[in-house]
A and B are shown apart, each in its own frame.
Chain A
Amino acid sequence: MIRKVLIGTGAILGCFLLQTNLFPAFRLAAVTPNLLIVLVASCGFMRGQTSGMLVGFFSGLLLDAFSGGVLGFNMLLYTSIGYANGYFQRMFFADDIKFPVIMIGISSLISSSLTYIAFYFLNGDFAFWNQLRRVVIPELIYTMLLSIPLYRLILAVHTHLEKTESKRASKFV
């Protein structure tokens, strides 16, 4: 249990620091990829609703508290995304790469669309197609591209965790 919490905290922190410190230096088409959404979505469909929403909750907290913006918005968004991804756990097979990339893509699309609606549309900026072309689509592509290596890393950690868990369970019996 403690191991899980430690690994989860490390993963969230790592993705957050990469996203705020490292990737702004590697902008493509003037956007940075959203690593936290990759983590939240993969935790959701790999490990289920509970870990999905917990990881989402704390990633959102980190983003909101230490990266400007309104406290609570990203928390709500990421918690819901983690939870919703948990519904697709039964469709998840470890050796299929298409499914996770598509799930991560959909999550990224939904999160950036909702951000647009909350901070731009409700402020009277209705140029959605423009923002879609400028921000949403480039971010989506960059995130999906990066999700392939990052997903493999998360998967490796996940299978390692599962293995040790089942070992312990068998020892116990």
Chain B
Amino acid sequence: MKVRNPVPKKNRHRFIVLVSICAALLLAQIFSDGKGPFQLIGNFTIIPMQKGLSYFGSWIWDITENLKTLKEVKAENEELKAEVEKLNADNLKLREEQYELQRLRDLYKLDEYYADYEKIGARVIANSGSNWFSDFTINKGSNDGIKVNMNVMAGTGLVGIVVEVGPDYARVRSIIDDASNVSGLILSTSDTCIVRGDLNLMSDGRIRFEKLANNDNLIVPGDEVVTSHVSSRFLQGLFIGYISEIHVDSNNLTRSGYITPAVDFSKIQEVLVITLTKEASLQERTAEQEAAQSQSTTNNSGSGTTDTGSDNTDSDNTTNANTNSDTASDTNNAEDADTGGADTGGEDDLIGAQTEGEEEVTP
């Protein structure tokens, strides 16, 4: 026997109450960032369950993996041995080049750009339960030193950026998400472009790049794309992927195309979080420059030795000017052609560019 509510109006009142709670929460978020107490509640209720399930899942996966036939493993072993030999030879050659590179880097003082970033390993414990977004939860949070805007990698490739941190978990938005914008750099020609996630490409695991200047530099499929010096949120020189398709836009001024990312986004299990944020690295650099400048000014009384010092600061300043103008043009581009979901990224970059400019102009 179904029990009907004797007063249907009562239901409507309840509904209105619930809806106004939701509306209040939505409105509250305009004025405040983050989800307040829910992060803490979730940390002790949902996250442990997700962690448990994910460990259980990987345990099952390991068992099925172990059942691979011996034959397969043997064949793979042969293959790998051959590869090791080949890699050993390659390695030797590379090491020789490494020494040369080190010497040249010392000459150009480029060391800091390619510094080995410190990383924390983390496990992916849950995906977003939606088909519209591409983000996931990892099992490390602020207790392990994770902060918002830290870059996340898997193996050698860039995966995404931390957008939300709880005590024992963090949410990562991957670079194939529709709302994601990364400033990229073509390694072979040093041209900058914008790497943008797209919902339609999410399922293929491809990403789009756009706003690459249509200049004389020849760029072909297979060229590597890394994060550029312009970005305000991504560290310089993180590997994004290879260009798979490139064409000139109908405006004849820019080129765009697709990138095959270095990471297989459908099978991410372990990730590495870089503990240095771009903001922190920029601050470090300005501090260093200030120190260098004050040193050179104190040394200025002499004549012979100061020459090199002033030279150094001069060149530093010019590179700064370059990066500043780059950011400016970059944000202009982003604003001009902004029609799609690029809004958030463009704005972020704009804010970044401003702060960057402020930071870098002061010394």
Interface residues of A (CB under 8 A from B): 13, 16-17, 19-22, 24-25, 27, 29-32, 34, 36, 48-50, 53-54, 57, 60-73, 75-76, 79-80, 83, 86, 89, 112, 115-116, 119-120, 123-125, 127, 130-131, 134-135, 139, 162, 166
Instruction: Determine whether the beta carbon of A53 is less than 8 Å from that of B18.
Output: yes
Asked if B11 is an interface residue, CB under 8 A from chain A, the answer is yes
User: A50 with B46: in contact, given A20-B128, A79-B22, A124-B343 (CB under 8 Å)?
Assistant: no
Interface of chain A, helix or strand or loop or mixed? helix
Which 7 residue pairs of A and B lie closest in terms of their CB atoms, listed nearest first? A30-B203, A72-B26, A72-B25, A65-B38, A76-B22, A19-B129, A24-B127
A119→B132 contact, CB < 8 A? yes
Residues of B within 8 A of A53 (CB): 14-15, 18
Q: Would you list which residues of chain B between 41 and 88 have a CB under 8 Å from chain A?
A: 41-42, 46-47, 49-50, 53-54, 57
Bound-state Cα–Cα, A76 to B57, Å = 32
Number of interface residues of B (CB under 8 A): 53
Residues on A with C-beta less than 8 A from B57 are 21-22, 25
CA distance A72 to B341 in the complex (A): 21
Residues of A within 8 A of B54 (CB): 21
Shortest C-beta distance, A79 to chain B (Å), equals 5
The answer to whether residues A66 and B46 also contact, given A22-B57, A25-B57, A71-B25 and a CB cut-off of 8 A, is yes
Tell me, in angstroms, the Cα distance from A49 to B11 when the chains sit together. Answer: 7
B131 beta carbon closer than 8 Å to chain A:
yes
Contacts of B308 in A (CB 8 A): none
Instruction: Give which listed residue, A20, A36, A69, A75, contacts B127 with CB less than 8 A.
Output: A20
Q: How far is the CB of B166 from chain A (nearest CB, A)?
A: 9
- Contact code string B1-26 (vs A, CB < 8 Å = 1, else 0): 11011000001001100110111111
Instruction: Decide if A86 touches B11 in the complex (CB within 8 Å).
Output: yes
Instruction: Tell me how far the C-beta of A31 lies from the nearest C-beta in chain B, rounded to whole angstroms.
Output: 5
A126 to B315: give the CA distance in the assembly, Å: 47
Decide if A49 touches B15 in the complex (CB within 8 Å): yes
Which one, A65, A68, A120, contacts B135 given CB within 8 A? A68
Question: Does A49 contact B5, Cβ atoms closer than 8 Å?
Answer: yes
Contact of B131 among A48, A50, A83, A139 (CB under 8 A): A139
